[in-house]
Chain A
Amino acid sequence: MLGRTAQNLFWLSRYVERAENMARLLDVGYRMSLTSRREGGAAEHLVSMMQAAEVDEAFAEKHEVADVAAVSNFMLFDEANPSSVRSCLLAARTNARSVRTALTLEVWETINAAWLEFAAIRPRDITGAKLPELLGWVKQVSHQFRGALISTILRDDGYSFSTIGGYVERADNTARILDMKYYVLLPRATLVGGDVDIQQWTLILRAASAHRSYRHVYHDRYKAWNIADYLILRPEMPRSLSFCFSHITRTLEMLAVAYDKRLPCHDAVAEVNAMLDGNNMDAIFQNGLHEFLTEFIARNNRLTEALSESYNFY
């Protein structure tokens, strides 16, 4: 397959996943801001959410005050924000159009219809209850895209590049969510969290659709230690770093077999796995959670570079 096609498939999945993650983050920031009882607390939550999405600086260039209206408009509709839902869906559709021949009708229709529907929304109509509704819709689009992919796409190298793109983006996002609130997850003298902690933990879990499933895995109250463990190391948690990388690793192995070649990207993925395999939360906390996450994000980025070198993205 053309190197450009592989690249487009990789980024198509990344952009759809990113649109979903932006919706998740905004959802969390919005809820936090609603429940904040402190003066200025709402704006703080929104800003720290934008820090996790790495769009806080771009926001500050255009806006003085971080309120729900300005932030949600920026995260959803602003084309000046390269990670806004609008930018992501447009980029996804442009990528999909470029590789139209590598997609099934079902996959193409999902992306095309999502873009047409989103483009018809007037930002000023998205107020009050309409906001969570729209965020839910963005997540649905992403689920529908993956569903169409899984049930209709040929399991060839193209599928591999799509798969890798989705998981690379998701791992990046989970790491960022954790990093945004790493300090509330640090072990402290008191084992039991206060109300504020519990509220923050709930929101972290919610951003990863993990606030319910947590109970099934841990049969316990929300605890910082478990939450970090859940989102970093648990192999059965579909947004955990371990889960994402077990899929990326498996998929890269399939490519190595299909192409009969091991390439720089296989070394790059081994570098990431070295951080996850056999690791435990004791060691991670001892060496610093923030340091761990920063290093993880850097190695994940290097994987994308290695992929484009290995498979002639250009």
Chain B
Amino acid sequence: MGDKSPFDEMRNADGSVREPYRQLDAWLKEQPDEALGLMAADAEGIFRRLGITFAVYGSSEATEKIIPFDVIPRIISAMEWRKLSKGIEQRVRALNAFLHDIYHRQEILKAGRIPEKLILQNSAFAPEMMGLDPARGIYSHIIGVDIVRVGPDEFYVLEDNLRTPSGVSYMLEDREAMLQLAPDLFQRLKIAPVETYPENLRRTLESVAPANTSGAPTIAVLTPGIYNSAYFEHSFLADQMGAQLCEGPDLFVDGGKVFMRTTTGPEQVHVIYRRIDDDYLDPLTFRPDSMLGVPGLFDAYRAGNVTLVNAPGTGIADDKAVYTYVPEIIEFYLGEKALLSNVPTYNCTDDDQRAYVLEHIAELVVKEVHGSGGYGMLVGPASTKEQQELFKQKILARPDNYIVQPTLALSTCPTYVDAGIAPRHVDLRPYVLVGDQIRITPGGLTRVALTAGSLVVNSSQGGGTKDTWVLED
């Protein structure tokens, strides 16, 4: 990792085209000079008109932006996908088992496989969840696993997003846009559909309705409202599933049950796909100043009259400090070796490891344990001496607040930029649904760093997206 030039998903080092990309390569060669530029302009128009926007916090000049969409798809072969999805399934199985254990008998702590302090004193641990039994014993129903590729056969999991992963609407709209922009490509290749996601999401949510639900469960998507950065996605998913899109004030709790205020009076809600953070869910249980949540919601949940998707407290399993133990977790609960690798991670509270980190900080990536979205991180090779010095001080002051990893040479994909087609670094977030069964949508969201050489793919930091094609045999 590091020294050699990054793995390109389309071209081998000798310039020949990799098998999954043959058809795309031929198609690209057939396109007239201006074609890709026109497609890119069309795509921008499509996205803006549809209102597929997100908000960038702290950006004053416009509250709504569109995420740049790259018109060249990213392609994954059927064999590669089988391998990936097996590894992902193993991971989410183990992490749900881990969550159940942590909130019940805590066998893994008793066995000394994970330090007790790391869990029990972690701010992501929710003591309110102790002894609570969610429907089917599932805690994290909707998961987006961040994966990077560094070689033909080398994939790493960067993060397991087990709380409220976002971005799935882009996976669906990117596909929709590609179908409009390049219909002929879909005739040449057998591409696995992603359009099944909303239907599968609905099935998953229905399958985890409380046991005492009579008749078809009523499903609601709970959003913080139209000013939230992911509001488009919330409304999109509610629409696609035929579920009610609710804000906190639309719901109330009475007699331990949750109701919506409808034009004909109260109507009971059985499953809530909530897109607000744990802290804001219920001012009576969590943050008392929350205006977004529903007072008494947690009591209704505890009484087994409503299912919260995902459960509160799932953050303990995707905490960056717990991340390093995932291979351990898989072995402990499933008795299997992890199929997907973790990125090697340095623990700064260990004297030797910290010394190494401080000396080699220019080659490493430093992340805040509770940070997300590309904020509060240092990418060593792209940083200045001053920034490195600053992070050294931060690590020395609070070694437990940071994890450090080697800079991965993320794979690149051909991307349409101002200068034409050029390789840009990408990652991948497949979406997993856990209910009566585990369903992984073939594909996912490919995020691409649009600046040459940049490794930061986050949309809040100028990253774009690509449609992701999984080929069928």
Partner pick for B265 among A4, A101, A112, A312, CB 8 A cutoff: A312
Which A residue sits closest to B51, measured CB to CB?
Answer: A112
B238 touches A101 (CB 8 A): yes
Q: How far is the CA of A89 from the CA of B330 in the complex (A)?
A: 54
A2 touches B49 (CB 8 A): no
A116 touches B48 (CB 8 A): yes
Contact residues of B between 208 and 243, Cβ < 8 Å to A? 225-226, 231, 235-236, 238-239
CB distance from A5 to the nearest CB of B (A): 8
B239 touches A101 (CB 8 A): yes
Annotate A63-101 by CB proximity to B: 1 below 8 A, 0 otherwise: 000000000000000000000000000000010011011
Residues of A within 8 A of B121 (CB): none
Known contacts A100-B239, A101-B238: A3-B226 contact under CB 8 Å:
no
B262 touches A101 (CB 8 A): no
B interface bracket (residues with beta carbon within 8 Å of A): 20 to 34
Which B residue sits closest to A7, measured CB to CB?
Answer: B263
A2 touches B246 (CB 8 A): yes
For residue A44, CB closer than 8 A to chain B, the reply is: no
For residue B381, CB closer than 8 A to chain A, the reply is: no
Contact residues of A between 94 and 130, Cβ < 8 Å to B? 94, 97-98, 100-101, 105, 108-109, 112-113, 116
Residues of A within 8 A of B249 (CB): 4, 314
Known contacts A94-B226, A97-B226, A97-B231: A112-B262 contact under CB 8 Å:
no
Residues of A within 8 A of B49 (CB): 109, 112-113
For residue A6, CB closer than 8 A to chain B, the reply is: yes
B235 touches A259 (CB 8 A): no
Which A residue sits closest to B261, measured CB to CB?
Answer: A3
Which A residue sits closest to B251, measured CB to CB?
Answer: A2
CB distance from A309 to the nearest CB of B (A): 12
Chain B contact residues: helix, strand, loop or mixed: mixed
B263 touches A157 (CB 8 A): yes
B263 touches A6 (CB 8 A): yes
Contact residues of B between 235 and 272, Cβ < 8 Å to A? 235-236, 238-239, 244-247, 249-250, 260-265
Q: How far is the CA of A4 from the CA of B247 in the complex (A)?
A: 9
CB distance from A144 to the nearest CB of B (A): 14
Residues of B within 8 A of A109 (CB): 49-50
For residue A311, CB closer than 8 A to chain B, the reply is: yes
A interface bracket (residues with beta carbon within 8 Å of B): 20 to 34
Residues of A within 8 A of B48 (CB): 116
Which B positions have Cβ atoms within 8 angstroms of A? 48-51, 225-226, 231, 235-236, 238-239, 244-247, 249-250, 260-265
Q: How far is the CA of A174 from the CA of B262 in the complex (A)?
A: 32
Q: How far is the CA of A98 from the CA of B50 in the complex (A)?
A: 15
For residue A261, CB closer than 8 A to chain B, the reply is: yes
For residue A196, CB closer than 8 A to chain B, the reply is: no
Residues of B within 8 A of A283 (CB): none
B262 touches A108 (CB 8 A): no
Residues of B within 8 A of A97 (CB): 51, 226, 231, 235
A100 touches B235 (CB 8 A): yes
For residue A1, CB closer than 8 A to chain B, the reply is: yes
A2 touches B238 (CB 8 A): no
Which A residue sits closest to B260, measured CB to CB?
Answer: A2
Partner pick for B245 among A101, A105, A311, A312, CB 8 A cutoff: A101
CB distance from B20 to the nearest CB of A (A): 33
Q: Return the 8 tightest CB-CB contacts between A and B, nearest first.
A: A100-B235, A311-B263, A101-B239, A101-B245, A101-B238, A97-B226, A6-B263, A3-B261
A108 touches B261 (CB 8 A): no
Q: How far is the CA of A311 from the CA of B264 in the complex (A)?
A: 7
Annotate A26-61 by CB proximity to B: 1 below 8 A, 0 otherwise: 000000000000000000000000000000000000
Known contacts A100-B235, A101-B239: A312-B51 contact under CB 8 Å:
no
Some 5 contacts from A to B, beta carbons below 8 A apart, are A4-B249, A94-B226, A98-B226, A100-B245, A112-B49
CB distance from A108 to the nearest CB of B (A): 7
Which A residue sits closest to B263, measured CB to CB?
Answer: A311
CB distance from A238 to the nearest CB of B (A): 27
Residues of A within 8 A of B265 (CB): 312
A2 touches B226 (CB 8 A): no
B239 touches A312 (CB 8 A): no
Which A residue sits closest to B266, measured CB to CB?
Answer: A312
Residues of A within 8 A of B225 (CB): 98
B51 touches A1 (CB 8 A): no
